[in-house]
Structure 1
Amino acid sequence: MSTTKNIEKIPYKGSFSYKNDDINSIDIDKKTKIIIENLHGDIAKLYFVNNQNVHIPIPANIVFKNVTCNQNQISTDNNFYVVWFSDYTMYKKDKVIFSLENQKKHIIRAATAVIRKVIRK
């Protein structure tokens, strides 16, 4: 399978948030899309649709891997489920289709009088 270095070469295509109800679509070929849909604050569902937006079985040669724990995800009813704190990569025939990377960051909000600095060693 492709390495992490290969994943880093894939262009940035946007982001998916667990904090809203936006549904994301990734076209993997002319007939097939991946849909990423938030279920609730911590879990999202990935599934495949055809060009008429009808839910279809997971195509052959697809592997969806949780790269945080280095395990292939098991599908349930032709869906994959993801959580916000793990990173994932989807492969077709050992080539990366896309990855979901947790940004592992928080926004700092503070009262006006509070001073924030970044301290580096």
Structure 2
Amino acid sequence: MDILFHEKMYQNGYSEKKIEKIRKKIQKLSPKLNLFLITLPIGPEGILEIYWYPELLQPLYRRSPEKMIVVGIAASREDAYELVEQIIQDIGWNEGTISVRDYFEERVCYYPY
């Protein structure tokens, strides 16, 4: 699975330097406890997905041909939920739907890990 980082990435208090270190650790497939990635949905359904980073080191995910686009990084699951809430508030509602994919695809600049 290819992991890409969106240029409009939400994060909870991480400095740009810390984000860069996290990207490098992900590139090296280093386990990083208490790191949660908020991604666009891998499939056609859904709004956002939250993954505990060590889960993505499992063979099932590593062999997947799908691209994972990270739109947020959080230190805890609770922080990840707060970021998801913030993302949804920033996007806003459009006639009862949330167009998360459209919001992020308008800013298409991905940084590979």
Q: TM-score, normalised by structure 1?
A: 0.30
Please give the TM-score of this superposition, normalised by the length of structure 2.
0.31
Please state which structure has a larger fraction of its residues in helix: 2
| Structure whose residues are more often strand by fraction | 1
Bigger Rg, which one: 1
